[in-house]
Structure 1
Amino acid sequence: MAWAPEGGVRLNLKVLIITATLVAICGQSPQVKVHKRFEYKYTFKPPYLAQKDGSVPFFEYSGNAIASEEMVRITPSLRSQKGMIWSKEMTNFDWWEVEITFRVTGRGRIGADGLAFWYTAAKGLEGPVYGSSDQWIGLGVFFDSFDNDNKHNNPYISAMVNDGSKNYDHQNDGSTQQLAGCLRDFRNKPFPVKARVEYFHNILTVYIHNGMSNNDKDFEMCIRAENVVLPKNGYFGLSAATGGLADDHDVLRFVTHSLRSPEMAQLPDNTVDAAENKKIEAEFAEYQQKLKTQKEDWAKEHPDQVKDVKDDDVWADLFMDDSTKELKQIFEGQSAMAETVKALHNKMDQILGRQEQALSLLTQVQNQRVGGGSVPPPPAQVGGQQLPPLDTIRRDEVNAVLANQRELVSAARDIKNFVADVHNKVTSIQQNQGRGQGSVQQVSGPGVNADMQNMIAEIRDSLNHVKRDMTNGYARMQQQAGAAGGKGGPTSCPDVSCSSTTMVALLLGGQLIIIIAFLMYKDNKENQAKKFY
């Protein structure tokens, strides 16, 4: 697809305007606060993760899995191992959030096969999909560490929804069946890797902590899919498998929270027994009464330190010194700033994802107009979620193409100017050479440079030297003839045709003209070469 520079600039301006508008709208819209409740029956974490008999409370594990006080090793670093762990009870809430803390470690640069998180209508059995059974009903989030399709895109994290009729595509690493995915390396990290899977109002979101720091809030979005329909109630599970290559798949924490909107949080919870609820309320009221009595006793014992405090949260500040209070205020301010920046970062990720989809649709429409072909069928959908197009042009790629076009246009203009300058100089040289043909130029004078005058002086000296030699030779011949006068008489010149003085002068003049022309041609070439540099 070709983009003109002017049209590309207008497209970039439109994209920037749309992005700014979306950011403004997102910043103005109030963020819905989600109420979380810790679900201990669907959680395991250290210390004392496993009991003395080796069991994990509210969970059951099988295969090659090993449970200890600090973690659950789903599979050890041995070949052809499979293990899994599943919750014993089915969920009784609609929306949930699961945070998994795990390590995948191995000796080699490449590992196998990977780890899987499950939320299914029934517990899985030992099978070919990362140690669990195929054709499941529900959600699977896969942490694939082996490159089966040889596309060099592993380790890879993907999500897939199955209705019980699909077999997992091992040859393509499930790329034809996934909702979405991201390329993240989770093997052999200095800190544990964390994955947060959130399902709220049919929106599935997966956040990843890359394990390069110990900051608990250093998450980044990996997967976001809308209109995802999962079973209302199901089981949570983890599984892992090894093949010809092997890794240790260790899960340190599995923490589950149920999610509720503010309206749902106000409704009474039917899962809690009424008698138990009354008992807990009575204990809480008794504790509040004891705390009030202790505050009154302290006020009587320290009347000089008593202040008019009505808010219970301020009582803790009474026992802090000034430096501690200042540090607390600074920490609270920094925490609020960090939360705001994090929220903006998540919003920008969502906006960029939607922007890439819009650019892909524009690319398809432009290709259809240029090619004149028919409208292609819409992309396939998995679980109600449209798969992303394979061939897309992102904003940074469009900017790179426009920058390259600008550079090419500038280079073409420079080349055009250079060629025009060379053409003018060649034309001038040809005119000068044509004007000099057939005319006798002045040998010496003010128009001749110093090199040419030196050459003429050397030629004059050579001629004088030849003249002296000829004179000396003639005198020597006369002397030899006078000495031998008594024998053969005077010696006369040989009877041969000798060159006349005019012929010698013409030859010398021709040679002089040739030398002068050569020097002028050489000097002209040197001047032209200096102009180009």
Structure 2
Amino acid sequence: WEIEVFIRISGRGKVGADGMGIWYTVENGEITKNVYGAKDQWMGLGIFLDSFDNNGNHDNPKIMAFVNDGTNSYDHANDGGSTALFSCRRDFRNKPYPVRLKVRYYKSTLTIFYHAGITEFEDYEYCGSADNVVLEKSFFGMSAATGGLSDDHDVMKFLTHSITDPESNEAQPDDEEQEEIQKLEEEMKVKVEELNTKFTEDKSKFAEEHPDIVPQDTLDIGSDDPQLQLIFTVQNHIQQNIKTIAADIASVKEMIDMLPAKISVPQAQDALQDKQDIPAPGIPVESSREAIDAIRGVDGKTTKMTNDLAVLRNELSVIANAVASLKSQPEPATGNPAQDIEDAKFKKSQQDLMNNLRQDIQTMTLKIGNIERQKSQCPKIPEVSCVSSTTFVFLTALQIGVIAFLIHYKMNQEAQAKKFF
């Protein structure tokens, strides 16, 4: 379990007394003056927020944790003495926000986290922990006490939580819950057996009263039915082809996305080579080969995908024709009205399945058409306008001359203005 306690301990003086206790004991607590307002020689866990320095060690205020088996007395004069599991010195008096304590008991380990009350955020800090702490199922409680000095001890919130193993998906029920679950399971088994017995009796009685009616669960609608076999085969085949086509489309999309980066540099290189008939400096020739290989790979993928789509479309057409032929087959009459009614219900359910299958086939055909149209739209190669080296040098020199003329003109204007003043 885990508890979160929001408290506020405040007083007018710099020193307070006596403190507050958080309890987890086998028996309900009693209001006394022995240990922070509760009785001594308790059985269980006691967490104390001691405000007053009784032993003069100048280590208060502090938080301490004790486990008692009901035979030991609390040494109040020495602030518990050396029997504490652990302690940490924390000033919890007169804080702007409520002070928080988070006490966690998990797998026989007791841990305390402390919130100083400086902010309202979840900034807990570690206080202490102890292993091999054995606690029985007990009661939570709070108590406080004052002496010659007085403080206000306010409990703002007391939250309890259950803790389970992170590897398990759900909480493990305790003994009482487990007994209730077993009881409900036994009652459910009895009810299920009664219903099964009643159903068997009613079924036998109905068969005796109506020997000419064949029960529905004896109809041959299993794996020998050719229509159901066709439906299952179609669904599995469509699913496999869709997975294959989806993988091909993803691969083609990745290669198409990589084309602009590979094509832009080789295009500039080709343009310069056409004008100057020399390899462009700093641009490797292998990049154009990589771009060509990438284009060929994309073309091969698209061709393969087109063939797969065509095969799938033909297979869907054949399957649709087969389903239509099965649907159009005449239904033989048995001469038994009850049997005809059952056959009509079964045929109607099969027709519904076939209609759904036909709609799926039409949807798949439309998707295949859209994919083919998207495939046919190849990515446009960006046009790169290139200039010769002579033109580039001329334009650069022209820009430099214009900039120099502007600088010279501005300097002359400033010199004339200085002479004027």
TM-score range, shorter chain: 0.3 to 0.5
TM-score norm. by structure 1 comes to 0.32
Higher Cα Rg: structure 1 or 2? 1
| Greater helix fraction, Structure 1 or Structure 2 | 2
